[in-house]
Structure 1
Amino acid sequence: MVYTLMRLGLLVGAFAIVVGVWSLVADDVPVVWAIVIAFLISGIASFFVLNPQREQFAAKVDARASRAAAKFEERRAKEDGEE
């Protein structure tokens, strides 16, 4: 959830910067192109800026998957022992 909110914040910030700079250069700001450019900028920025949060999330997912696999193996071994 935190990563998603940070990513959304980057998108909104990039959009504001793109619209601000574009409005300084031209009178008319095409919103669709501003959104596309903001997506590109925020995607590239999030790759570098949000790397620690992404690695932390991946570690949590890996730990959860390991626990689930261990429980599955434990149940399987228990069932095999009953037969």
Structure 2
Amino acid sequence: MKEFWIYTLLRIVLFLASLGIVIGVWFLIAGSAPLLWAVVIAFLMSGMGSYFLLNHQREALARRVQTRAEAMTAKMEEMKSKEDAD
């Protein structure tokens, strides 16, 4: 579960950083920033950024999930074969 929390925390940090940048630039250009549009733009920016910047963490999370799924499948098969033997 460590990989999940690391990836999630990095996504949140990336979103907040993107939101800060969008609001900062918007204030510099226009003097005020509509919050809804700033959140939407920051969400899109952080999504695109995470695709490239968090690739390593996303792959580590995927490997962990796959390992757990394979272990669960093996355990289910073992229980199934044990049940068939009885």
Q: Which interval holds the TM-score relative to the shorter structure?
A: over 0.9
Q: Residues 45-77 of structure 1, C-alpha deviation per residue, up to 9 Å, x if partnerless?
A: 001101110110010011001111111111111
The alignment's C-alpha RMSD in Å is: 0.7
Q: Distance in 2 between matches of 1:37 and 1:2?
A: 24
The equivalent residue for 1:71 is 75
Q: What is the TM-score normalised by the length of structure 2?
A: 0.92
Code of the aligned partner of 1:32: L
Matched, 1:5 2:9: yes
> When the two structures are aligned, how many residues end up with a matched partner?
82
Q: What is the TM-score normalised by the length of structure 1?
A: 0.95
The structure 1 segments of at least 4 consecutive aligned residues displaced by more than 3 Å after TM superposition are none
Code of the aligned partner of 1:49: L
Percent identical: 49
Equivalent residue runs for 1:3-82 within 5 Å: 3-82=7-86
Structure 2, gaps ≥5 residues long: none
Whose relative contact order is higher, 1 or 2, with alpha carbons under 8 Å and at least 6 apart? Answer: 2
Structure 1, gaps ≥5 residues long: none
Q: Distance in 2 between matches of 1:28 and 1:79?
A: 67
Cα deviation for residue 79 of structure 1 reads 1.0
